[in-house]
Structure 1
Amino acid sequence: MSDAIKHECGIALIRLLKPLEYYQEKYGTSLYGLNKLKLLMQKQRNRGQDGAGMATIKIGAEPGTKYISRRRSNAPNYMSDLFDGVYRRFKDLPPEKLNDPHYLKANLPYTGELLLGHLRYGTHGENVIETCHPFLRQNNWVSRNLILAGNFNLTNVDELFDELVELGQSPKEKSDTVTVLEKIGHFLDDEVQRLHTWFKPDGYTNNEINDLIFKNLDVQRLLRRASKKFDGGYVMAGLIGHGDAFVLRDPNGIRPAFYYYDDEIAVVASERPAIQTVLDVHHSKVSELKPGHAFIVKRDGQVSEKPFIDPKPRAACSFERIYFSRGTDRDIYLERKKLGELLADKVLEAVDYDFDRTVFSFIPNTAETAFLGMIQGIERRLDDIKKEKIVNLTEKELNSKKLEKILSLKPRVEKLVVKDAKQRTFIADTTSRGAMVSHVYDVTYGIVENERDTLVLMDDSIVRGTTMRDSIIRIVSRLRPKKIVIVSSAPQIRFPDCYGIDMSKMGEFVAFRALVELLKENGKENLLQEAYERCKQMENLPKEQITNAVASLYNEFSYECVSQKIAQIISPDDIKPKVEVIYQTIDGLQEACPNNNGDWYFSGNYPTPGGNKVVNKAFVNYMEGKNERAY
């Protein structure tokens, strides 16, 4: 992706289903769970660039001993800083203690059977240690302690916060993470108290009641009660002090979650390949957590997947497939190839089927798989062209030289754009920073023939278009192509996201800026004011009654017309080559990614009522000149 955006976080949950002695004997280490957690997080490091954290719980620890350990880091080298601090505890142990699971569990932190890791990609707020997950809600009652980490954004934090206040709470801040922690924590307290009240009249001691609470706490009921009014995309993982664990997924399946378990271990992660690699299991053994369901592991090791809220129409985030998730997942890899393949015909039309004078390349490196699919689609179309040429040869023309010329036709595929990962601009002053940004990418010279070749560049999406204009197009124009065709494997991003991706300001989207310019050029600027007034009229309605007041503006112009205007916007004024932009269509996206049809940022069809509220708020902010988030 040429425009960097912040997006979904990553989670990793592990429950060791055997005593630590088992792993010491079978795998030669009592730190088996800790080692697997580290690997799971490393394999998902694409999901977090701002920080990381982990926590463990020892099941059955003696009262008076520390059974919860947590460490977080927002250091530049957050992963190594996090685990260096954890493993430091074991570094100088003599072998007899390091290989003694009883000693480790009784005396050292991070040796519990429950482990939870989190990678943070903050969409807003400061990047301080306090914003790193997991979050901890402490209590002297073991069963009321709660550790929470997640990949989520809720659209109705204000509503949920007000409910907490009405319950008599005074949360320390109004953030979705703290609000969710306190919301689940409130109902955890309530469920524990309900069980205590139920068993007390039967003459049990308090310690005996504790054991009964551990056994009978209904995590499914707890999550159903706590999540009734959640509006957004979420995967939330929680550890309860006595040893229960859970991961819940939103009813639309917006955010991803996968799990695996056997008789030794239960694991949940944000991405399937992480589990496949770390545990060396086939992809068929890794299950997707169903929308509206929770993966629950009880203290006694019982594993289940249970519904906690009524499922809604599936709207799994398609951006996961286009860009965010690692392409090592078999399905994602094939979907990205299909996205590229579906653009082959449009690309060939744009270059007038001139294979001799067209160079095909991509913008590194996440677009490479879609580029491969596009090239394969072009090659298949080229095979048809070759067959047609051969069939149309006259008997006189049918000779080896003519055939060789036809058969030698192939796309000119080159790696022309290279990202200079070492380029740093934060130390530059404001005046020079812009010039330095233009050098984030470099190009391979001498391949494109001056003023004769057309250059086709595949990107996986174009959000703001600023990097495309100020860096990529400007620098590839130095190759002096006749024409530059930018191909996006994703459709036009027209609407803000509110479920985890940092795309909330309407005015930043190049597609929206193109729309505004088209409205002004065609004397339809009044439609902006009319849409603004519709937004204001719905501003104080319940979110369930709010509709998307912005979507109809795009109906004034064809998809291709908006693409043409985008091409003008991202074309620097001082370059010679003509720039054309080809976007994937929403129909093409749905064909390539049929099971991940969450496309609200492209279509404006939000899966939850809060989405329509957010898009209208983002538009109001734009019209009122407010440079602030819409949620």
Structure 2
Amino acid sequence: MSDAIKHECGIALIRLLKPLSYYQEKYGTPYYGINKLYLLMEKQHNRGQDGAGIATIKFDVKPGNRYISRYRAMGSSAVADIFEYVQKKFVAVQKAYPQQSMDTQWLKDNVSFTGEVLLGHLRYGTHGKNSIESCHPFLRQNNWMSRNLVVAGNFNMTNVDELLQQLYELGQHPKEQADTVTVLEKIGHFLDDENQELFDHFKDKGLSNIEISAQIAKNIDVAKILTRSAKTWDGGYTIAGIFGHGDAFVMRDPAGIRPAFYYVDDEILVVTSERPVIQTAFNVPLGAVKEIKPGHALIVKKDGSITEEMFRQPVEQKSCSFERIYFSRGSDADIYKERKSLGKLLCPQVLESINYDIKNTVFSFIPNTAEVSYYGMMEGVNTYVRDFQKHALLNRSDKISDAELDDMLSITPRFEKLNVKDAKLRTFITQDADRQDMVQHVYDTTYGVVRDDVDTIVAIDDSIVRGTTLKQSILTILDRLKPKKIVIVSSAPQIRYPDCYGIDMSRMGEFVAFEAAISLLKQRGLAHIIDEVYQKCMASVTTPKDEVENYVKDIYEPFTDLEISEEIARIIRPHNLNAELEVVYQTLDNLHIACPNHKGDWYFSGDYPTPGGNKVVNRAYMNWMEGKNIRAYFSV
């Protein structure tokens, strides 16, 4: 994507289903679990470059000994830093206690991060605080083992203010206005309730406190706790948690907005945010990895029993399509096919934009994540050329000459890598003029491929959010090749609305499509709509969220997609560009054809999957009108 945006967090949960000694005997290491956690997190590094954290819990530890271990780190190398820290501990033990270092029971008694349940998190912050305190996992500690709670997740809640009020009414006093706090404390509250109810129940039966603790750990109803906790949550979430005694869970929102995959055999249960990382780390086939159903929680009890239980009634599934277009790694079998399909489906629009002049067109892509959709576009263009040649040759009534045949068969699409991203260059200079000059050199280009004033360049990108990198860098660089025309193709539709479920796209003014619509309203004497929408949004503030509509749709209503695309081309066009410029966007219909199981398209269509989404988009518009450069929801 030319406009880099921060996005989804990632999780990795491992539950060892055998004693540590089993893995020592079979795999030759007592650190099997921690090694696999490292692999799962490193393979999901695309999901967390602000920070990371891990936590482990040991079973059946004697009182007075630690059984929860946690370590967090900041920065793009956080995963490596964390596991280097853990590895140093293991190496120190091996040097100091060479005999005991292979004794799994001794390790469990004496060394941290040797537990049976392991949880990892990769953080990609949106607009929240970027500090070590913001890194998951979060702990809620208590001297009662079964009241301890470890939580990490990939989530944003749209109704944090409402959830905070509910915590106040429960008698709590949260220290921050953040969805991480509300989630942790809400689950923690009902975990406490469940503990107390079970304590009272077994106390009435005459059990001692020590006996009661064991019975509580055995009988805690995890699904009940999650059902009560999530009753009023409005957002997209995959949340993993561990109770101190060993029960663990991963829960997924009722619309299936955020992804969650799992694999289980007789040795291990593993859950991650992306499917191929499980396939890679455990060498298992595609069909062995399952997806947690929306509104369900995958629950593994301390005794190893595993169930998938509903905690909220599922609604129409609206899994995030941006996961398929950009966020998730393209090594997933289905995502790879879908991204190719996105490129192929764009071909009719692309061919029309070049007037079907294949001979004088160079097809390329904007590095690096648009490469797969580029392959799909290549496939579509090649199919068109074959069909064109076949039709022309088979439908001639006269004999074709050798020269005509040579000319027809010489039609070969030109696919070239024109842009190369310079990963080493950092635009650290703060003065605007100097910094813009540096931005223009983030991409290098390939010379000698495009013919001066003859060829058209078609360059495909994943999506266009702000258009600033195109304007400040890519278009200027491509124009140096002296093409007749440049066609920028977006494999995603026009991004028109903010996200409120995890992606760093929450402010209206960041979207070039919104800027284009506002510009057109002013140009055509329709500026009154801008204020009318503001008034509707203002009036909706006190309206129950279930009754609120997305009034920002009215901004786009007067215009066709093509009109907005043409205005976007005008906005992102550098003042000194010589070539003709056109911008082509994916259609919503084709997006759904390419990604049939991921219908979450609210950033394109404005159709939010939860009631809170409409309140957020209206608040984002109000913030824009009032000149407030802030997000429209609370989060860390």
For the aligned pair, the TM-score class normalised by the smaller chain equals over 0.9
User: Which string of whole-angstrom CA distances, capped at 9 and with x for unpartnered residues, describes residues 529-559 of structure 1?
Assistant: 1111111111111211111011122120111
- 2:313 maps to a residue whose letter is D
The whole-number CA distance in structure 1 between the counterparts of 2:406 and 2:262 is 53
The amino acid that maps onto 2:72 is: R
Q: Hey, what does 2:341 align to over in structure 1? A: 338
More divergent stretch after superposition (124-133 vs 386-395): 386-395
| Structure 1: gaps (5+ residues) | none
Partner SS, residue 114 of structure 2: coil
Are 2:465 and 1:463 equivalent residues in the alignment?
yes
SS at match of 1:484: strand
1:566 Cα deviation from its structure 2 partner: 0.4
Matched, 1:321 2:324: yes
Correspondent of 2:510 among 492, 500, 508: 508
User: In the aligned structure 2, how far is the partner of 1:245 from the partner of 1:494?
Assistant: 39
Structure-2 separation of matches of 1:455 and 1:523: 35
Among candidates 596, 615, 632, match of residue 594 of structure 1: 596
Corresponding position of 1:620? 622
Match status 1:181 vs 2:176: no
Residues paired across the two proteins, number: 630
Identity %: 60
- Cα offset for 1:403? 2.9
Show CA shifts across 1:36-72 (max 9, x none).
Answer: 0000000100001100100000011111100000000
| Secondary structure of the structure 2 residue equivalent to 1:480 | coil
Alignment partner of 1:38 is 2:41: no
Paired residues for 1:114-129 under 5 Å: 114-129=117-132
Q: Which of 495, 498, 511 is the matching residue for 2:497?
A: 495
Q: Which residue of 2 aligns with 1:576?
A: 578
* Partner in structure 1 of residue 144 of structure 2: 141
1:168-193 per-position Cα deviation (integer Å, ceiling 9, x unaligned) = 11112111101110010000000011
Query: Where in structure 2 are the equivalents of 1:415-434 lying within 5 Å?
Result: 415-434=417-436
The code of the aligned residue for 1:264 comes to: E
Equivalent position of 1:206 in the other structure = 209
Residues 186-335 of structure 1 aligned to structure 2 (within 5 Å): 186-335=189-338
Aligned to 2:606: 604
**Equivalent runs, 1:362-441 vs 2, <5 Å:** 362-399=365-402, 401-441=403-443
Separation in 1 of the partners of 2:514 and 2:474?
Answer: 21
- The residue number in structure 1 matching 2:156 is 153
Indicate conservation of the 8 Å contact 2:49/2:77, yes or no: no
Mapping 1:514-525, distance limit 5 Å: 514-525=516-527
Spell out, residue by residue over 1:198-219, the C-alpha distance to the aligned partner (whole angstroms, 9 max, x if none): 1101111111111111111000
Counterpart contact for 1:440–1:471, Cα < 8 Å:
yes
Aligned-partner Cα distance in 1 for 2:457–2:527: 35
SS at match of 2:99: helix
Alignment map for 1:546-585 (pairs within 5 Å): 546-585=548-587
Q: Tell me the equivalent position of 2:452.
A: 450
Query: How many Å separate the matches in 2 of 1:448 and 1:8?
Result: 38
> Structure 1 residues 427 and 76, CA, compared in 2 at 3 Å: closer, same or farther?
farther
- Deviation of 1:624 after TM superposition, in Å, equals 1.3
What is the alpha-carbon distance in structure 2 between the residues aligned to residue 475 and residue 397 of structure 1? Answer: 43
Task: Report the 3-state secondary structure (helix = DSSP H, G, I; strand = E; otherwise coil) of the residue aligned with 1:252.
Answer: coil
Question: In 2, Cα distance between the equivalents of 1:230 and 1:245?
Answer: 20
Higher mean displacement: 430-439 or 203-212: 430-439
Question: Structure 2: which amino acid aligns with 1:610?
Answer: G
Check the 8 A contact 1:156/1:231 in 2, yes or no: yes
Q: Distance in 2 between matches of 1:260 and 1:493?
A: 34
Listed as ranges, the matches of 1:98-117 within 5 Å are 98-117=101-120
1:77 aligned partner: 77
Q: Distance in 2 between matches of 1:502 and 1:174?
A: 18
The superposition leaves residues 95-137 of structure 1 with CA deviations (integer Å, 9 ceiling, x where unpaired) of 4322110111000000000000000000012211100000000
Matched, 1:58 2:79: no
Q: Distance in 2 between matches of 1:98 and 1:412?
A: 60
Structure 1's 461 and 605: CA in aligned 2 closer, same or farther, altered over 3 A?
same
Post-superposition shift, 1:299?
Answer: 0.4
Show the counterpart of 1:88: 88
Letter in structure 1 aligned against 2:254: P
Cα distance in 2 for partners of 1:99, 1:403 equals: 75
Paired residues of 2:49 and 2:75 also in contact (CA < 8 A): no
SS at match of 2:557: helix
Aligned counterparts of 1:393 and 1:608: Cα–Cα separation in 2: 58
Q: Give 1:382 shift.
A: 1.0
Per-residue CA deviation, residues 453-504 of structure 1 (Å, 9 max, x unaligned), is 0000000100001111111111111111000000000000000000000111
Q: Distance in 1 between matches of 2:491 and 2:469?
A: 17
1:225-248 deviation digits (Å, cap 9, x = unpaired): 000000000000001000000000
Structure with more contact order per residue of length (Cα contacts < 8 Å, sep ≥ 6): 2
Shift of 1:425: 1.5
- Aligned equivalents of 2:100 and 2:454: distance in 1? 72
Cα distance in 2 for partners of 1:343, 1:430 equals: 36
Separation of aligned partners in 1, 2:100 and 2:122 = 31
| TM-superposed deviation, 1:427 | 4.3
- Cα deviations across residues 418-451 of structure 1 (Å, max 9, x unaligned)? 1000011224434411211111111011111111
Q: Deviations over 1:566-598 (max 9, x none)?
A: 011110111110110000010010110010000
1:10, distance to aligned residue in structure 2 (A): 0.2
In structure 1, how many angstroms separate the alpha carbons of the residues matched to 2:632 and 2:206?
Answer: 54
Kept in 2, the 8 Å contact 1:75–1:81? The answer is no
Give me the whole-angstrom Cα distance separating, in 2, the residues matched to 1:396 and 1:55: 76
* Secondary structure at the counterpart of residue 300 of structure 1: coil
- How many Å separate the matches in 1 of 2:140 and 2:266? 30
TM-score by length of 1: 0.99
More deviation, 381-390/312-321: 381-390
- SS of equivalent to 2:583: strand
CA contact (8 A) 2:370 2:462 kept: yes
Q: What CA distance in whole angstroms lies between the structure 1 residues aligned with 2:250 and 2:379?
A: 40
Matches of 2:630 and 2:275, distance apart in 1: 35
In structure 1, C-alpha distance between the alignment counterparts of 2:118 and 2:494, rounded to whole Å: 40
The SS at the match of 2:542 is coil
The 1:379/1:117 distance shift into structure 2, 3 A limit, reads same
Provide closer, same or farther for how the CA distance between residues 203 and 165 of structure 1 changes in structure 2, counting only shifts above 3 A: same
Deviation of residue 408 (structure 1)? 2.9
> Residues of 2 paired with 1:88 and 1:518: CA distance?
60
Across the aligned residues of Structure 1 and Structure 2, the Cα RMSD in angstroms comes to 1.0
Single out whichever of 148-157 and 122-131 deviates more from structure 2: 122-131
Runs ≥4 residues deviating over 6 A: none
> Where in structure 2 are there 5+ consecutive unaligned residues?
none
CA distance in 1, matches of 2:100, 2:349: 66
Higher mean C-alpha displacement, 130-139 vs 539-548: 539-548
